[in-house]
């Protein structure tokens, strides 16, 4: 953050919080309770969970104002850099008998002119059929249901995975304590996370929800936006299954991404 902006923003936050304390006559005991709770979130390994539940969606909404291209969405606390690079045809890393319905996630990545972009990286991560994330929750193989793959020469991509369910965020730690005190539930609607990146374009963090899914209207992280909800199509006819050489029904989610230029990557003399 630029130094001037940091000073402006932090001093304003200080004033807002001081005013808040005066308004509610916050006691010394209550003050210490809050600082202990914040320290406890880190000690409990919740890192950004508490803040992402309450505030991240506001930050992405503000980032979307006046910006072209696909909607930005929250990243959440469970993204990890360095997921395995997959080879085509793309299948998300999974256990031999990974539970959950088959899902094909596909689409196209274009620029603002509608031209396809080849070689775009999609870094996808999502919960398993029990609503748990690898490398975060225990007893799941490393990098399970986390993987990176690329668009082809026509800007198209497709990956095979399993359908994640709605899930409960961790509720036994300080974030759960706060949500319980507010009488809120702990659920997020089912979703896929994806980071879409290419060296010439601004990296897009997205998150896609399934139309008609549970908790779309009451997401604990208040992060669902119309433009992020896509149709989940069930394919169950014999001809659809044999087209993909499958003997079971499967789901398909299609979502197209539009990337915007990363002006920082354009030489100054050209962007002036």
CB neighbours of 224 closer than 8 A, spacing ≥ 6? 189, 209, 216, 217
Pick one of 169, 192, 194, 259: the residue that binds ligand BEZ (CB under 6 A): 169
The closest of 42, 53, 43 to 76, measured between CA atoms, is: 53
Pick one of 69, 77, 107, 165: the residue that binds ligand BEZ (CB under 6 A): 77
Smallest distance from the beta carbon of 78 to ligand BEZ, in angstroms?
A: 5
Pick one of 109, 221, 224, 228: the residue that binds ligand BEZ (CB under 6 A): 221
Of 22-30, 38-46, 69-77, 89-97, the segment contacting ligand BEZ by CB under 6 A is 69-77
∠ CA 243-237-211, rounded to 5°: 100
Based on the shown chain and the rule CB under 6 A, indicate whether residue 76 belongs to the binding site for ligand BEZ: yes
DSSP type of residue 172:
S
> For the CA atoms of 136, 120, 95, 216, what is the dihedral angle to 10 degrees?
60
Smallest distance from the beta carbon of 65 to Fe ion, in angstroms?
A: 24
Region 59-98 residues binding Fe ion, contact defined as CB under 5 A = 76
If DSSP codes are grouped into helix, strand and coil, which group holds residue 83?
coil
Pick one of 71, 74, 92, 196: the residue that binds ligand BEZ (CB under 6 A): 74
The closest of 116, 260, 109, 130 to 194, measured between CA atoms, is: 109
Based on the shown chain and the rule CB under 6 A, indicate whether residue 49 belongs to the binding site for ligand BEZ: yes
Based on the shown chain and the rule CB under 6 A, indicate whether residue 219 belongs to the binding site for ligand BEZ: no
- Using N-to-C axis directions, what is the helix angle for 174-181 and 28-43, rounded to 10°? 130
Pick one of 41, 46, 52, 157: the residue that binds ligand BEZ (CB under 6 A): 52
Q: Site residues (CB under 5 A) for Fe ion?
A: 76
Q: Site residues (CB under 6 A) for ligand BEZ?
A: 49, 52-53, 74, 76-78, 169, 188, 221
């Amino acid at each position: 953050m630029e130094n001037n902006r940091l000073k402006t923003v932090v001093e304003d936050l200080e004033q807002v919080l001081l005013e808040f304390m005066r308004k509610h006559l916050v006691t010394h005991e209550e003050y210490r309770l809050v600082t202990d709770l914040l320290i406890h979130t880190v000690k409990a390994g919740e890192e950004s969970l508490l803040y992402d539940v309450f505030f991240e969606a506001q930050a992405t909404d503000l980032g979307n104002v006046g910006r072209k291209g696909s909607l930005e969405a929250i990243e959440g606390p469970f993204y990890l850099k360095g997921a395995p690079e997959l080879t085509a045809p793309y299948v998300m890393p999974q256990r031999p008998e990974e539970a959950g319905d088959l899902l094909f996630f596909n689409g196209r990545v274009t620029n603002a002119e509608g031209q396809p972009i080849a070689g775009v990286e999609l870094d996808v991560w999502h919960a398993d059929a029990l609503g748990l994330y690898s490398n975060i929750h225990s007893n799941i193989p490393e990098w399970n249901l986390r993987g990176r793959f690329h668009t082809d020469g026509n800007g198209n991509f497709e990956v095979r995975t399993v359908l994640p369910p709605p899930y409960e965020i961790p509720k036994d730690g300080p974030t759960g304590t706060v949500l319980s005190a507010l009488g809120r539930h702990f659920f997020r609607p089912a979703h896929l996370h994806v980071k879409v990146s290419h060296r010439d374009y601004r990296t897009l963090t997205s998150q896609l929800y399934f139309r008609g899914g549970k908790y779309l209207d009451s997401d604990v992280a208040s992060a669902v936006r119309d433009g992020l909800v896509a149709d989940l199509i069930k394919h169950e006819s014999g001809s659809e299954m044999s087209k993909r050489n499958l003997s079971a029904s499967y789901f398909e989610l299609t979502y197209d991404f539009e990337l915007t230029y990363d002006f920082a990557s354009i030489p100054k003399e050209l962007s002036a």
